[in-house]
């Protein structure tokens, strides 16, 4: 006799378009599923450790995914295998698996950029939230990317990232996450930025809801305001001096999202 309440969390595995195994966990619930997409030096555990998942509330229908090369998902090892279109294919494989007509997608940093890219190409994305990454065209500094790829794949790669984020005032969950990512995959994912992540994202369809979130102290608010105009996106600002420090406010954004759901 079902208690009427949805079952517990269930692990899943899907195969992305290029054959890469993508794994994650779905926590069933009423309403539209929300797919959570982590950033480059992270995995799906950040949603638990940041308090974001708890902030969404026990009834939220949530799907947390390990992008290729991170967490439990299959490693790819090549920069081409870490192009932004591959990440969007990872998400589309998840959308296919659960067969919903509409999904929300919420991503942090580059995960937010992926959420916006998915919204621009897959009509099933009804809502996309990008935490601290905008959708405008960017100049990818090849030199800096190659330099950073060398740093993160080197023997001190984890220390490089942990020191950087500690210095920048990132919360512990974000610093710790760096150490969980395979260094070869970190290097490949960094070089992967050269494969399509410079492109601006487009609005997918008129009634899609796009939300850009960044720090009120963000030194470069212009591309976020550009997104309000060009994409008709909403802009949420969190009380933080920088984008990296805004990670400490992720749970607060989860509560705002939960209130919004309750209101809608």
Ligand X SMILES: CC(C)[C@@H]1NC(=O)[C@@H]2CCCN2C(=O)C/N=C(\N[C@H](C(=O)N[C@@H](Cc2ccccc2)C(=O)N[C@H](CC(=O)O)C2=N[C@H](C(=O)O)CS2)C(C)C)[C@H](C(C)C)NC1=O
User: Per-residue contact track with ligand X, 41 to 80, x per CB under 6 A?
Assistant: xx--------------------------------------
Residue 113 touching ligand X (CB under 6 A):
yes
Name the 3-class secondary structure at 139.
coil
Residue 212 in contact with ligand X, rule: CB under 6 A: no
Q: Which of residues 3-42 bind ligand X (CB under 6 A)?
A: 39-42
Q: Identify which of 257, 259, 262 has the alpha carbon closest to the alpha carbon of residue 104.
A: 257
Q: Give yes or no for residue 144 binding ligand X (CB under 6 A).
A: yes
Sign of CA dihedral 246, 251, 252, 256: positive
Question: What is the Cα gyration radius of the chain?
Answer: 17
Q: Is 248 left (phi over 0), alpha (psi -120 to 50) or beta?
A: alpha
The residue within the footprint of ligand X, chosen from 48, 140, 205, 241 (CB under 6 A), is 140
Among 199, 65, 43, CA closest to 136: 199
Rounded least distance, CB 181 to ligand X, Å: 8
Residue 67 CA to residue 59 CA, distance in Å, equals 24
Residue 124 or 168: the one with the smaller Cβ distance to ligand X is 168
Q: Which of residues 153-192 bind ligand X (CB under 6 A)?
A: 161, 164, 186, 190
- β-strand 125-131 against 103-108: which pairing, if any? parallel
Count of chain residues binding ligand X (CB under 6 A): 23
Name the β-bridge partners of 22: 14
Check residue 201 and report its DSSP letter.
P
Partners of residue 125 on adjacent β-strands: 103
Judge contact between 207 and 236, C-beta under 8 A: no
Q: Which of 45, 75, 102, 138 touches ligand X by CB under 6 A?
A: 138
Residue nearest to ligand X (CB): 39
Residue from 25, 60, 244, 246 binding ligand X (CB under 6 A): 244
| 61 vs 160, beta carbon nearer ligand X | 160
Comparing CB distances to ligand X, the nearer of 186 and 211 is 186
- Interface ranges with ligand X (CB under 6 A): 39-42, 109-110, 113, 132-133, 138, 140, 144-145, 148, 152, 161, 164, 186, 190, 193, 197, 243-244
């Amino acid at each position: 006799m079902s208690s009427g309440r949805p079952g517990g969390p269930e692990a899943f595995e899907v195969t992305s378009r290029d054959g890469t195994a993508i794994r994650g966990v779905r926590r069933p619930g009423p309403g539209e599923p929300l797919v959570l997409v982590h950033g480059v030096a992270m995995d799906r555990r950040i949603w638990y450790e940041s308090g974001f998942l708890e902030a969404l509330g026990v009834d939220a229908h949530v799907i947390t995914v390990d992008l290729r090369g991170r967490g439990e998902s299959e490693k790819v090892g090549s920069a081409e295998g870490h192009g932004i279109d591959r990440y969007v294919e990872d998400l589309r494989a998840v959308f296919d698996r659960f067969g919903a007509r509409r999904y929300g997608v919420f991503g942090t940093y580059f995960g937010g950029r992926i959420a916006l890219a998915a919204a621009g190409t897959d009509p099933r994305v009804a809502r996309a939230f990008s935490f601290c990454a905008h959708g405008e065209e960017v100049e990818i500094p090849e030199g800096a990317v190659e330099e950073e790829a060398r740093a993160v794949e080197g023997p001190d790669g984890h220390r490089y990232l942990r020191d950087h984020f500690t210095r920048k005032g990132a919360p512990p969950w974000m610093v710790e996450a760096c150490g969980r990512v395979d260094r070869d995959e970190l290097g490949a994912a960094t070089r992967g930025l050269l494969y399509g992540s410079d492109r601006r994202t487009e609005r997918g369809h008129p009634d899609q809801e796009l939300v850009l979130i960044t720090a009120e102290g963000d030194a470069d608010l212009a591309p976020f305001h550009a997104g309000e105009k060009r994409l008709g996106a909403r802009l949420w600002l969190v009380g933080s001096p920088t984008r990296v420090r805004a990670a400490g406010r992720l749970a607060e954004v989860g509560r705002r999202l939960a209130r919004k759901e309750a209101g809608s």
